[in-house]
């Protein structure tokens, strides 16, 4: 396989919704649990890494005064922009994380089923960038698939690597949500 960019380009060229975000019961239940995890809290600026076509973004954006969705693929980002266009204070950017991290001050960071696409070194770089821009008392939701990811790191390995790397930079509480599902792990990190 080539790069992840090439992989996702092929996926989105063959399907507008390759993971069935719009129709999957699994995704809807996971999104609902993500919102429950946040407990109705409101945020100044939220960011979702790997926002794809913006289905979860459309649920998160109303909780935020400003919301930034980030995806590697322009086709996915274009659909996310269209979905979020009625919502004020939203932007969708195409960027390859961690190298093109959109600098800002975030009190909500969502990493839903994206960490295992990164190497351990890239996860460390991402943790450093997040630590710089993560506001005190801000939330970071980390969701990882527990099945075979077909990537060098499993979901649990990626989650562990991220939390270890983040702990080298900042203090945070770590609350495991669950067991919510046998398919994924959800953690709510709150910066101290």
The sign of the CA dihedral 123, 128, 133, 136 is positive
Q: What is the pLDDT of residues 65-111, one digit of tens each?
A: 999 999 999 999 999 999 999 999 999 999 999 999 998 999 999 99
Distances (CA, A) of 79 to 71, 83, 110, 191: 11, 6, 19, 32
Confidence of residue 179 (pLDDT cuts 50, 70, 90): low
Q: Tokens 């450093």 appear where?
A: 128
Q: What is the pTM of this model?
A: 0.93
Q: What is the pLDDT of residues 2-26, one digit of tens each?
A: 587 777 777 768 878 777 788 899 9
Tokens linked to 149: 């990811």
Q: What is the pLDDT of residues 26-36, one digit of tens each?
A: 999 999 999 99
Cβ burial of 118 (10 Å; 0-12, 13-18, 19+) is: buried
Tell me the domains of the chain and their CATH numbers: 4-191 (3.40.50.150)
According to the model, what pLDDT value does residue 77 have?
97
> Could you tell me how far CA 150 lies from the centroid of its own chain?
19
């Amino acid at each position: 396989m080539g790069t992840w960019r090439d992989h996702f380009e092929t996926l989105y060229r063959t399907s507008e919704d390759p993971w069935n975000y719009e129709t999957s019961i699994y995704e809807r239940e996971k999104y609902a649990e993500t919102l429950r995890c946040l407990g109705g809290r409101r945020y100044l600026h939220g960011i979702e890494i790997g926002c794809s076509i913006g289905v979860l973004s459309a649920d998160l954006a109303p909780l935020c005064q400003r919301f930034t969705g980030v995806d590697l693929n322009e086709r996915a980002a274009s659909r996310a922009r269209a979905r979020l266009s009625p919502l004020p204070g939203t932007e969708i950017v195409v960027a390859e994380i961690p190298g093109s991290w959109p600098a800002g001050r975030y009190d909500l960071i969502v990493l839903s089923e994206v960490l295992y696409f990164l190497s351990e070194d890239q996860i460390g770089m991402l943790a450093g960038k997040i630590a710089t821009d993560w506001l005190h008392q801000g939330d970071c939701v980390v969701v990882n698939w527990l099945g075979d990811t077909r990537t060098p790191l499993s979901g649990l390995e990626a989650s562990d690597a991220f939390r270890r790397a983040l702990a080298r930079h900042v203090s945070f509480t770590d609350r495991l949500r669950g067991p919510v599902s046998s398919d994924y792990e959800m953690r709510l990190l709150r910066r101290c």
